[in-house]
A and B are shown apart, each in its own frame.
Chain A
């Protein structure tokens, strides 16, 4: 039974959207975080995918509702409707793909355009993926420097394959959200506005990519 038997204090629910170029490993990031699984062979995401997980950050259990999006250009129209009502946005790039790094800013702009957020302090986090790869092209210092100086967005390096910094990245994102000053009525509207929540047994039934055989290109 998923519903609560006795009323308990509900978890704060945060909607997280993961953006980034096709093939940087957004789905892998989500699957590693939610179901602690990893596969080298993952399908292209069709439009959007949704998973949920609870995460304890500084003693508060948050329910993260994560929307993974399709990075391919042809899905642009289909993914942008999901930006609205987002609490946290993860901007991803792969360290072996310079273009994906260059596109981080345009992803940020796309998000701001379609989410229509009025929050100037909206919590973004730049997440570098695939740092386990030897043929790394984007150096850490450069990425870090660019993110902080140009974008003013915190930066974290991860590897879904080796499970490096995955939970840390999400926890960091939640901390950012919690520490962001935002107008009080906005916060209220967030919580009056419609949240999906599953306070108990939230991270069940996660589709994983392990069984997928077709090779992604």
Chain B
């Protein structure tokens, strides 16, 4: 990250990109990921459109684009960079501040440190060191000569030349130090068998070649070839040690009584020295007494081959005359002194202090940089001291622990790795109880000094870039130190955490320990960081807008810190100390965020002013009260991302945290935002339509800019919703309902605006005949395009998921209920927009109407259908249909075809009505009919007869009537009456019962009776009789026309008469032959019989037999009697137009009489 700062701008971007990818790879920057995707889509979009910012966006300063655009990313990057700068300067300054504290507390310098060595005269120590240098032992010299080392020591000890010379003289005269060679005889292996039983009874004899009289023997191990002794010996080394040789021999013991006796006395011997003596005795006995001990083998080890710090090694046992080794022996060899252990250890610590001081003065290491390496001369001096003063490893580590910490407390130059390693080595001795109480006390006193540094490094973990490798290593070592200290039991007589140093510790009830203090340190670090962020981000802008932006920045900075913690530190804390670092940070931060945001946001959301749609003025972008919606949204996103990070990466409990219900703070704000968005969307749509030039976007698209702009608005609202990711199901449902409702309103609004534009702004020259232009088609396509975006939009809102959530939150039924509501709203919107499309298509057809009308009127006048007028109409239609067909989609093309057909039907209908007044003959109408069907066939490729519109059916029936001859029309009337009779539900005018049958070509009619017939006379009765007639009249001229007898004064006449009517085969085969029974009332005067009612039977209904014998069971038919009531029938009206037609006139006259009779009341 830091490189970003120094790189030129173009590379910066690249780096930012990599950072982003990294973040995605880590799977943490959820928001970043989304933003990247969004941005890619947006980029593609821009590329496709070939321009950067669409003019529509300028209207409101990119209101929608601010949601989910790449802006947020940039913001974060900027913030990081800015903050980094701040911390870079802060880093060094603050770090010094922290350590200044340490310094003022101790008030010691290195010089003073030296004088603090009161316990030991420095010159004595110097003398000791010089003595050791002069009597260097061990194998290594590191190519340093004695004089150099002495000069070095003099410098390190800051000894004046005169003093040095005096001391040097004393040292030279002094005897060689009493150095001991410490030997542990560990074990042997592959020892040659010497006894008859195949084993040996081995024991070892040790002596130095310079003093062979001083022999040391081990115990005897009986009957083994793998003896384990683990016995210790200290052999005094003389001044001439350099050339001395250690001799070790292994013998096979041959038991002699005297020795056996002595061995049985082992139990009486007390103390180590006694044992030594005892062993000597045995050895003397063994070597001087009578025995048959036999040597197995031996080894010679020159002392100068032994390293100063000692070694453990296997040695081959050789025997004179034998080439092969006689066995192997494991020896642990080291040098030591017989000094008092405590004194030696203290001396060693002082030596370390002197050399460390010198080291620091010479090397002047940076803070935390010293890795524990001494100058070569110092190392040699230290090694010699270890060897010659018999310092054990535990003493050595403890000395380092104490002195390194002392030095560090003066100036924090020691790297934590050094402490960590030393402590690692001390863990075992301490837990095993190898330290004395005094030593333990010293250990803890030092630990107490070190701990503040450890905790400070954790508290100030943020001083360095989190991915700084050194820092991570430091932290790892610090944690390692704490982990080790955690294991130990704390001394109860010592206050490890004095309040004057740990001012930052949180008040607590229980006893403090390493872990609770670690917790406090982490908390304090987080709190400090929070304070630091607040101090560096003081509010400058006190508007709500400014405060929101500030809060967002603070949240993002805290999130950034948490993210870093998760990415770099958390694992270390968990691994080393099982301390939930990220979780602890999250709880601090989420609490702070909650405190900061909740009251503020709730207040803002409650106070947000709704917008008046009626207000038509445009806001300037800066003063736009709606912009606040953007900041609020960003703040929401900030909190949401922060909370997600906590839940996903920090194991935060989503139920109990303060931020659990953060979204509710915003609820009212979101509601208002949706209102704002709807308003903005409509504003934009209006503008988009204004700007639209009604030109295709490119060669492949079928719509123009405003359609794209409109669906882009939808897309933005969708992105807003998706990013919002509203957490609770109930709220989501209501918001989604609102969004869908708004989108639907927008679609309809767009349709209206588009239609208006094309209708009023794209108009051709007046008085010129209308031609369909591409603009009209584009307008239709645009609306269609917007319509088609509705369903995918709704699906993308995540309805399925929402319904599942609702189902589990409430119930399946509730979810179903809600789904139905949403479906209904969507269906409605799509229907409405479809209707808008149809309206627009209708407008187009209406504009074409005058031309069509003109051609049809002219065409109707000419008898021949192949006239040029019709050709002209066809050509006019064809030209326009070509445009429509190529520009519109299939669905809309079919729609407009239907509308054109309807329109033609409409025109022709008006034409017919018009011409009826002109008393046109049926042939004129036939001509029109043929024209219509030609056009109909032309417009409907498949000549489909289904789905005919109402208009066409109306026209067809009209054409049918007017093209029929009068005779056919009259029969059509009877058929209509027959249908009316069949459809009648109640027989209001009585019933007539008859039997009818065809016997070959003879119709046999039985007129049986009638009942409840209408009373025609004033006495309440009628004098009825029945006339049987066959229709059409013209086809049945020369046949019987039977009539029954008259029955006086009855409403229930019983006729019971039978007639036979012979027909010609042609008459019999008459397709629409109808038998009619006319019921009449005999007139009182016998002049004209009055019509009562009538009934009809179609030939199809009459059964047919070959022989008269078969007529046995002819069923009775009960016919409902009816009468014409008015001239409303279309057929009668049509006949009425034929005023010059005699037949029509006479028929109408008769029907009018019937109507008059049917409507009459009985005569007086």
Contact = CB atoms under 8 A, between A and B. Distances in A.
A109 B21 CA distance: 53
Contact of B675 (A84, A207, A213): A84
A196 B745 contact: yes
Interface in B1039-1094: none
Given A6-B902, A6-B951, A43 B817 contact: yes
A193 to B, nearest CB: 7
Interface in B731-752: 731, 733-735, 737-738, 741, 744-746, 748-749, 752
A185 to B, nearest CB: 9
B832 A196 contact: yes
A5 B898 contact: yes
Given A78-B730, A78-B735, A194 B821 contact: no
A64 B737 CA distance: 18
B93 to A, nearest CB: 49
B674 A212 contact: no
A50 interface: yes
B813 A212 contact: yes
A207 B820 contact: yes
Contacts of A47: 730-731, 733-734, 737
A84 B613 contact: yes
Contact of A3 (B816, B820, B831): B831
A72 B827 CA distance: 28
B123 interface: no
B835 A3 contact: yes
Nearest to B825: A50
A43 B902 CA distance: 48
Given A194-B748, A196-B744, A46 B814 contact: yes
A34 to B, nearest CB: 11
Task: Please tell me the size bucket of the interface on A.
Answer: 35 or more
Contacts of A65: 828
A161 interface: no
Given A80-B671, A81-B671, A196-B745, A6 B899 contact: yes
Contacts of B816: 207
A146 interface: no
A207 B834 CA distance: 24
B269 interface: no
Nearest to B685: A194
B899 A78 contact: no
B930 to A, nearest CB: 24
Interface string A187-201: 001001111111110
B1126 interface: no
Contact of B748 (A3, A195, A212): A195
B839 interface: yes
Interface string B663-703: 00001100110110000001000000000000000000000
A75 B730 CA distance: 9
Contact of B674 (A46, A48, A81): A81
Contact of A192 (B752, B811, B950): B752
B813 A48 contact: no
By secondary structure, the B interface counts as helix
B734 A198 contact: no
Interface in B799-816: 806, 810-811, 813-814, 816
A1 to B, nearest CB: 9
A118 interface: yes
A46 B733 contact: yes
B89 to A, nearest CB: 46
Given A43-B813, A84-B675, A48 B734 contact: yes
A80 B898 CA distance: 43
Contacts of A122: none
Contacts of B741: 50, 82, 196
A59 interface: no
A214 interface: yes
Contacts of B828: 52, 65, 196-198
Interface in A159-217: 186, 189, 192-200, 205, 207, 211-214
B614 interface: yes
B505 interface: no
A84 B842 CA distance: 32
A46 B810 contact: yes
A4 interface: yes
Given A7-B842, A46-B818, A205 B832 contact: no
Contacts of B737: 47-48, 50, 82
A156 interface: no
B643 to A, nearest CB: 20
A49 interface: yes
B824 A193 contact: no
A71 to B, nearest CB: 14
B749 A194 contact: yes
Contacts of A192: 749, 752
Contacts of A200: 831
Given A78-B667, A81-B671, A205-B820, A46 B806 contact: yes
Interface in A35-86: 43, 46-52, 65, 75, 77-82, 84-85
A199 B951 CA distance: 19
Contacts of B613: 84-85, 116, 189, 193
B127 interface: no
Contacts of A211: 813
Interface string B714-740: 000000000000000011011101100
B11 to A, nearest CB: 47
Contact of B827 (A2, A49, A116, A207): A2
A116 B735 contact: no
B814 A10 contact: no
A205 B824 contact: yes
A64 to B, nearest CB: 12
Interface in B825-881: 825, 827-829, 831-832, 834-835, 838-839, 842
A81 B449 CA distance: 64
B818 to A, nearest CB: 6
A207 B814 CA distance: 10
Contacts of A198: 827-828, 831-832
Given A47-B733, A193-B745, A118 B821 contact: no
B949 interface: yes
A78 B820 contact: no
Contacts of B745: 85, 193-196
A51 B823 CA distance: 11
B612 interface: yes
B610 interface: yes
Given A192-B752, A195-B832, A196-B748, A6 B821 contact: no
A52 B821 CA distance: 10
Contact of A78 (B731, B810, B814, B951): B731
A81 to B, nearest CB: 5
A197 B831 contact: yes
Interface string A83-121: 011000000000000000000000000000010101000
Given A52-B828, A118-B614, A195-B832, A43 B738 contact: no
A3 B814 CA distance: 29
Nearest to B664: A77
Contacts of B832: 195-198
A7 B838 contact: yes
Contacts of A114: 610
A50 B675 contact: no
Interface in B914-954: 947, 949-951
B949 A193 contact: no
Given A116-B612, A194-B744, 10 more contacts: A6-B899, A7-B839, A46-B733, A50-B821, A82-B741, A193-B745, A196-B748, A207-B817, A212-B813, A214-B813
What 8 A-B pairs are tightest by C-beta distance, nearest first?
A47-B734, A194-B745, A78-B734, A207-B820, A3-B834, A194-B749, A196-B828, A7-B842
19 contacts: A4-B838, A6-B898, A47-B734, A49-B818, A65-B828, A77-B668, A81-B672, A82-B737, A84-B675, A114-B610, A192-B749, A194-B744, A194-B748, A194-B749, A196-B745, A196-B748, A197-B832, A197-B835, A200-B831
